[in-house]
Amino acid sequence: MAQQYQDRIKLLEDQEIDELYGLPRFDHDEQSYYFSLTQEEQDIANSHRTQENRVLFILQVDYFKAKTMFFSFEFNEVRNDVRHILRQYYPCPPISAWLSQFSGKPSMPSNRRFWRCTAIVLATQQSGPA
């Protein structure tokens, strides 16, 4: 199948495609900037029942702030961001234990409440306070 597309023009290199569409890769300063939550965002994150969903909510909202996209990922792929969130908002037993407990792909919440809350936060930020 790859040979089928061999004659097409290649406009972007793989690295450029990853920069545009791949998971954000934050350095420490960017983590501090993107993962600083408003009180409303903290309240919504804390309203989720499980810590896994709280962390997932923060990741999805802040990745959306950075790239205006939602991502599917495993917690191990975003280990540094998860560490930062846990240190900043949910001090708990050793972070490595938490990461090993949730080493696979986070179970994307299927309930409407999770996604409605995410959409409200993002819409409020894009349109500004009412």
pLDDT of residue 121: 60
Q: Please check whether residue 68 lies inside any domain of the structure.
A: yes
Q: Please, what sign has the CA dihedral across residues 44, 26, 110, 104? A: negative
Token pair recorded at residue 64: 């959306």
Q: Please check whether residue 90 lies inside any domain of the structure.
A: yes
Domain of residue 93: give its range. 25-125
- Would you give the DSSP letter of residue 102? T
Q: Please check whether residue 70 lies inside any domain of the structure.
A: yes
pLDDT in tens, 23-43: 999 999 999 999 999 999 999
Q: In whole angstroms, what is the distance from residue 37 CA to residue 102 CA?
A: 23
* Residue carrying structure tokens 């930062």: 84
* Rounded-to-10 torsion of CA 24, 28, 29, 30: 10
Q: Please check whether residue 46 lies inside any domain of the structure.
A: yes
Domain count within the chain: 1
Q: How confident is the model at residue 96 (pLDDT cuts 50, 70, 90)?
A: low
Q: Please, what sign has the CA dihedral across residues 73, 76, 77, 79? A: positive
Q: In whole angstroms, what is the distance from residue 104 CA to residue 1 CA?
A: 30
pLDDT of 55 strictly over 80: yes
Q: Please check whether residue 104 lies inside any domain of the structure.
A: yes
What pTM, to 2 d.p., does this model score?
0.69
Q: Please check whether residue 16 lies inside any domain of the structure.
A: no
Q: Please check whether residue 12 lies inside any domain of the structure.
A: no
Q: Please check whether residue 117 lies inside any domain of the structure.
A: yes
How high is the mean pLDDT of the chain? 78
